[in-house]
Every structure is written in C-alpha cells, then in structure tokens.
Amino acid sequence: MVFAVKYGDEHCLPFRSLIGLLTGDSASPGLWNVFFADFRLREHPDDVRLHGHAVSQAEQADDNIIMSTSFSTLQAKVNQFFDWCTGKRVFVSASKSKWMIFGPLPHIIPTLRLGNLIVELVSEFKYVGVWLTSITANVFSRHYAASAAKARNASNAVFAMKHRVGSLPVKEGLQLYMARVDCYLISAAEISIDVDAHLIEEHLDAQHLFLRRLLGINSRSMLAVLFTETGVMPIRIRRLLLALSRLQYMVHLGDERRVRWALLDSVDLFRAGHPSWAGDIAILLRALPTPIRIAPGDYLSIPAIEAITKKVVEAVDADLQFDINFLRKTHLLRNRLEYVEESETLSLVTRRRRHYLTMTLIPAHRIALTRLLLSDHNLSVERLRYRTRYRLPIPREERLCRLCRRAVEDEVHATLDCDAHPPLVALRATFLHDIFECDPALKAQYAILSHYDFLCRMVSSRKGVTRLAKYACDVLALFDSFERFIPAGYEVVR
C-alpha cells in the first residue's frame, strides 16, 4: 500500500508499506502517538493513585493497559475506551484483549465486556516483554523462569558452535555472553528487584555455567574466580546496579512524569514501612557482604545514589578479593598487579579479563594454564583433598609426588621442582630456554626468586605466558600418564 500524511494543507511525499498495516514502520509509533494523544480516561475515586495522582491507563504504542481498584469502574473505563475507538474507527480485538485480577478473588467472578464481546480473564500476561502473574506471591515469577530459560537456550546455542568452529576463545565468548545471554539475565532487572532468592537461582546457575564452560573448568569450581578472571559482574549485583541506574534516571524526570510519581509513591510506601520497589532495593543493599543502609531521602538524591552505587561495586569487589586472599585454592592468584589506565599505575584489580585468557591462542594450552592457576587440575594436591567412595581425604603433607614421592605434588613441584623423571627435566630445560628467549628479564629472576615466586612471575609476563601455557599443558599431560601415588591407610573399609 502507498500512504501519505496530511498536516494542515501540507502533504508528505507518498511512501510504501510492505508489511501490512503501519504497525511495523519506523514512522508508525510517532504517527500512532499523535493519533492516540486525545485518549484520556475520566478520573474516578476508585482509580489507582501514585503519590496522589490518579493513574488508570498506560500505553506502549498500541499496547494499552486500563486499570482500576474496582470492577465496576474498570468496566466503565473499558466502555469509554470502546466508545473512543468506535468514534475514531479503530478496531479493538476482544480476543487479543485480556484482563487480570490482582489480590484476593471476589466470591463471584464478574464478566468484563468489550462492546458485546466477553474479554477472557487470565492469571498471567506478557506486557511490553514482561510477564505479569496474578496468582503467585511475586508478580514477576513467570518472567524470571522465562528469561532464565532463554538465557540457558542462548548459552547452549553458543557452545553448540564448538562442534563447527572449535573451542570458543575467551574474548569472543565474553562478547557473545554479553550480546546473547546477559540480555536475558538482566531482563526486567530495573523493575523486578530480586528479593525472592529462589526466583533468581536459575539466573545465577546460567551465568556460572556459561563462565565455567568458557574457561574450561569443572562444574563445581570456586565461584569467585569466575568473576575475578573474566571481569564479569555477578548477575545478582549487575541487576541491582541496573535498578540503581534506573533510579537515577527517575530522579531526573520532571514532576509531570508518571514514572516519577511511581518513584515518589514507592518511597512513600518505604517510609511508611510497607512493601515497595524502594523497600526491596533497601533489602538487597542490607544483604550485601558489607551491608549498606539507604534512607528514604537518599532515593531522591543523585549524589546519594551515586555514592551507594560506588559502595555496592566496592563491597562486591572486596568480597571477591577476600575469597582470593583467603581460599586455599587461589594461592596463585594473589598479589597480582595490573596496569590501570586511569591512574597509569600498577595496582591490584579484583575483576579483570586476565591476559593469560586472551593471549594464549591454543585452547588446550589456555585451559591447562587456567586449570593450573585455579587449582582445577589433576595434581594430587587437589585430587587427594576430597574423599571418594573408597578413600578418605588425605592430609596435604601426604599427597606426595607420583614421580619422586619426596614432596607434595603441587603446582610448583610439578612445574619447577621435581627432578626424578628425566623426560620432565628435559621438558623443563627446553621450556626455560624458550621462555628466557621470550622474556630475557626472567632469566635473572629465575636465579634469585623462589620457584613459587618465579612461577607467579612467569604468569604475569605478557611475553612469556603463551610458552608457559604450553609447558603447563605438557607437564599436566605427563603427570596424567603415570598412576597417582596413594599413601596406605586411607581406604574406606567396606
């Protein structure tokens, strides 16, 4: 069809629409808004009130909501809408329209009509991309489940590529994560605050699973390293930060905007001690590892919101850093200095996409080094830590090297200490020769540093890390080719 717009005596040039009515055209939202601008429902004492203002309608282009606190008023408003549409020659589909009851159901369920047609009563409906549910304690419960399922499907699709294109590099994997998975995990984060922990569980699982698969570590690995090594923010905190960002936006709005009325109303409820969006944010802030208090007045102050946002990030990073500093498995990740562009200094950075993940291009080498650094490898220091069906946990000092049985089989012993197996010694000699060529500064440090410190230093070397990753892969494979030494006396008696 060909269309033209007339305004006063002027006509625009004709234009074509090839996809039916103009609902999909770029001009249509604006034209529709002009067309729809005089639709105003009459105020009624039963109207929903936000900070004293009656609000009974909301529109997103041609998706409309009409609301009231009583059925008779709702029916009267729907009638007014139907009459307005009839006068404007707009067809409203009764079959596509639905209605919902929030709160206790009446003894006799009334029938809503649009003209002569009955409108179906439903318990859940998707409006502007968000599922609303009237029969669960949390109105967003269906939305949580739906968005988690989409995130999971997107995640599976990303990793299904492995069979076609090989292992996914970390940088590209994180780009795909942000583009195709994160968007579902943050869906509706600004309006549905995660106070019901069980509803957000699947989101957490989806994020953890993606990052573990990307890094190539096992499904029970520590959580902190997923974020410290990739720079990704834990999803629960990311959603809270998005809600705080939306709060900042709302504070900036003028007093004529309904969203601002909603904010003020929510703060009123919080101040009075009633459940509310603002109150839910306060609950999450109090539940942080370092609790943050927020007063009703803070919700309307940009400096206060900015300060709280900064504190949230600091609290999360401090918590992650605490894990890195004190968990036994993260000993190789401590005291790492990273270049910080803003201050042009070397400092401790808790969350960052680490260089060893992106600079090592061969997947097997990258995964081997990642596992070595994150204590997710097969050396006995880790594998004998836990009880199995037929064996008790073995004390650290007895988790001896399978090759020499003279020292604990840990990362440093396997890579730099053990000299009982000639092929390993030869492998190490070649490796050291190569890495000293890659990064000559390492040669002097090899002579003065302890082997532990030298391993950490090699990890930090941008010039040598690729060669180190290959060596890690070779060493772990060599150890895997020998049977592990299990000391006597730890068998479970059956």
Cβ within 8 Å of residue 272, ≥6 positions away:
none
The sign of the dihedral angle between the CA atoms of 379, 381, 382, 387 is positive
What CA–CA distance (Å, rounded) separates 225 from 234? 11
Q: Taking the complex as a whole, how short is the minimal distance between the CB of residue 427 and Zn ion, in angstroms?
A: 13
Pick from 179, 277, 172: which is nearest to 214 by CA?
172
> Residue 409: enclosing H or E segment and its boundaries?
none
Distance set, CA 89 to CA 7, 400, 412 (Å): 19, 85, 80
Q: Taking the complex as a whole, how short is the minimal distance between the CB of residue 406 and Zn ion, in angstroms?
A: 6
Work out whether strand 120-121 and strand 98-99 pair parallel, antiparallel, or are unpaired: parallel
Point out which residues pair with 340 in neighbouring strands: 345
Choice between 334 and 405, CB closer to Zn ion: 405
Q: Taking the complex as a whole, how short is the minimal distance between the CB of residue 415 and Zn ion, in angstroms?
A: 11
What CA–CA distance (Å, rounded) separates 49 from 65? 15
What six digits make up the tokens of 125?
């409906």
> Residue 54: enclosing H or E segment and its boundaries?
strand 53-55
Q: Taking the complex as a whole, how short is the minimal distance between the CB of residue 401 and Zn ion, in angstroms?
A: 3
Q: Yes or no: say if 130 and 137 are a contact pair by the CB < 8 Å rule.
A: no
Choice between 84 and 452, CB closer to Zn ion: 452
Q: Taking the complex as a whole, how short is the minimal distance between the CB of residue 405 and Zn ion, in angstroms?
A: 7
Q: Yes or no: say if 383 and 484 are a contact pair by the CB < 8 Å rule.
A: yes
Choice between 264 and 401, CB closer to Zn ion: 401
Q: Taking the complex as a whole, how short is the minimal distance between the CB of residue 411 and Zn ion, in angstroms?
A: 12
Distance set, CA 130 to CA 15, 96, 101, 143, 423 (Å): 33, 17, 17, 6, 61
Q: What is the CA radius of gyration of the chain?
A: 31
Residues that bind Zn ion (CB under 5 A): 401, 403-404, 418
Choice between 84 and 485, CB closer to Zn ion: 485
What CA–CA distance (Å, rounded) separates 325 from 304? 31
Choice between 415 and 461, CB closer to Zn ion: 415
Choice between 154 and 401, CB closer to Zn ion: 401
Choice between 78 and 424, CB closer to Zn ion: 424
> Residue 456: enclosing H or E segment and its boundaries?
helix 451-460
Q: Taking the complex as a whole, how short is the minimal distance between the CB of residue 422 and Zn ion, in angstroms?
A: 12
Choice between 122 and 427, CB closer to Zn ion: 427
Choice between 112 and 412, CB closer to Zn ion: 412
* DSSP state, residue 234: P
* DSSP state, residue 474: H
Choice between 418 and 442, CB closer to Zn ion: 418
Q: Taking the complex as a whole, how short is the minimal distance between the CB of residue 416 and Zn ion, in angstroms?
A: 11
Q: Taking the complex as a whole, how short is the minimal distance between the CB of residue 334 and Zn ion, in angstroms?
A: 24
Q: Taking the complex as a whole, how short is the minimal distance between the CB of residue 376 and Zn ion, in angstroms?
A: 21
Q: Yes or no: say if 146 and 184 are a contact pair by the CB < 8 Å rule.
A: no
Q: Taking the complex as a whole, how short is the minimal distance between the CB of residue 404 and Zn ion, in angstroms?
A: 3
What string of H, E and C letters represents the secondary structure of 55-123? ECEEEECCEEEECCCCHHHHHHHHHHHHHHHHHCCCCCCCCCCEECCCCCCCCCCCCCEECCEECEECC
Choice between 323 and 409, CB closer to Zn ion: 409
